[in-house]
Amino acid sequence: MAELPDLEVFSRILNRRYSGKTLEKIDVEVAGKLNVTAKKLKESLEGHQLSEVKRSGKTLQFHFGRDRILGLHLMLRGELVALGEKPPKFPVLIFHFKGGKGFAVTDMQKQATPTLGPPVNEVPDALELDYPVLKKLLEGKKTTIKTLLMDQKKVRGIGNSYGDEILYHAGISPFSIAGKIPDEYVKKLHKSIHSVLETAIKKIEKENGDELTGELRDFMQVHSAKLKQTPKGEEILSEKIGGRTSYYTKSQELFH
DNA sequence: GAAAATGTTGATTG
DNA sequence: CCAATCAACATTTT
């Protein structure tokens, strides 16, 4: 969980289910990563109406009015679950809305990070990245394109799996030096970022329907430990880049 | 039972 | 100063 397309779909579902409802109570089960005290969070949000849920990069933002915004990063293992009969496993935060419904943020690793009053982030979101900005981002950079795409200080929202999918789609090797990629391929990369992410959003939205749960990655073309071949029959290679496994094929062009 | 797993941060090394 | 690597976080899945 927790790359841009999943979060985009979650934000839409959360909006449909909870926007307009008043937060009756919020339980803070794990306060370790919270930037304020549990008491302060409760004082700030309880009794207020959820106006909107937004996605920003790999974070969600719950708007309870001006100056009452809760940011949330799910990190590696964070999940969102609707409250049911059983109490959620590994709860971090539990939102109870008036009328009895609610959801929980869970994380077995306790790394999910809620932030009251998240600072405005100037780094472009992957879905808002236009071609001239991307071109400028790559110019003169000596780092590999895979590392750069995953760098949240440069573009927000792309992680290890979609990074591989995007580069496969664009026909660029993840080991290519960012600054050495010709314009023609930077254009392809720009198109691939949008089309891979938007296609994923549509597929996840279709599968998930109105359910909060689920982690759909069936449509991955290269980034999967199970796959040996792409749908086109190309052999999938894997190698670590920056401590994380990258999946790619020989058909992706290497610029260096 | 070992290894890897969608992310980030801070320390460290070149 | 920039780039790259690694460990740490806690648990499940392969």
Residue A125 near residue A154 (C-beta atoms within 8 A): no
Alpha helices in A151-182 (DSSP H): 160-170
Judge if A4-116 and A126-248 fold alike in CATH terms.
no
* Topology classification of domain A4-116: N-terminal domain of MutM-like DNA repair proteins (3.20.190)
Q: What is the pLDDT of residue A227?
A: 85
Question: How many CA atoms does the CB half-sphere of A187 hold within 13 Å?
Answer: 3
Strand B lies under 7 A from the Cβ of residue A120 = no
Q: What is the pLDDT of residue A115?
A: 95
Which tokens go with A44? 């700030």
Q: How far is the CA of A158 from the C1' of B7 (A)?
A: 11
**In chain A, what are the domain boundaries?**
4-116, 126-248
Strand C lies under 7 A from the Cβ of residue A90 = yes
| Dihedral pair phi/psi, residue A97, rounded to 5° | -100, 155
Which tokens go with A206? 């279709």
Residue A169 near residue A195 (C-beta atoms within 8 A): yes
Q: How far is the CA of A78 from the C1' of B1 (A)?
A: 26
CA distance linking residue A126 with residue A201, whole number of Å = 13
Per-residue pLDDT of chain A (256 residues; tens, 9 = 90+): 578 999 999 999 999 999 999 999 999 999 999 999 999 999 999 999 999 999 999 999 999 998 999 999 999 889 999 998 889 999 999 999 999 889 999 999 999 999 999 988 889 999 999 999 999 999 889 889 999 999 999 999 999 999 999 999 999 999 999 999 999 999 999 999 999 999 999 998 888 777 776 555 678 899 888 888 898 999 999 888 878 889 999 999 999 8
Strand B lies under 7 A from the Cβ of residue A143 = no
Q: What is the pLDDT of residue A213?
A: 65
Q: What is the pLDDT of residue A91?
A: 94
pLDDT in tens, A119-162: 888 899 999 999 999 999 998 898 899 999 999 999 999 999 99
CA distance linking residue A149 with residue A131, whole number of Å = 14
Q: What is the pLDDT of residue A226?
A: 82
Nucleotide nearest residue A32, measured CA to C1': C9
> Is CATH 3.40.50.2300 the classification given to domain A126-248?
no
In the 200-239 segment of chain A, residues within 7 Å (Cβ) of strand B are 215, 223, 225
Nucleotides of B under 7 A from a protein CB: 4-9
Nucleotide nearest residue A179, measured CA to C1': C3
Strand C lies under 7 A from the Cβ of residue A120 = no
Q: What is the pLDDT of residue A15?
A: 95
Q: What is the pLDDT of residue A228?
A: 87
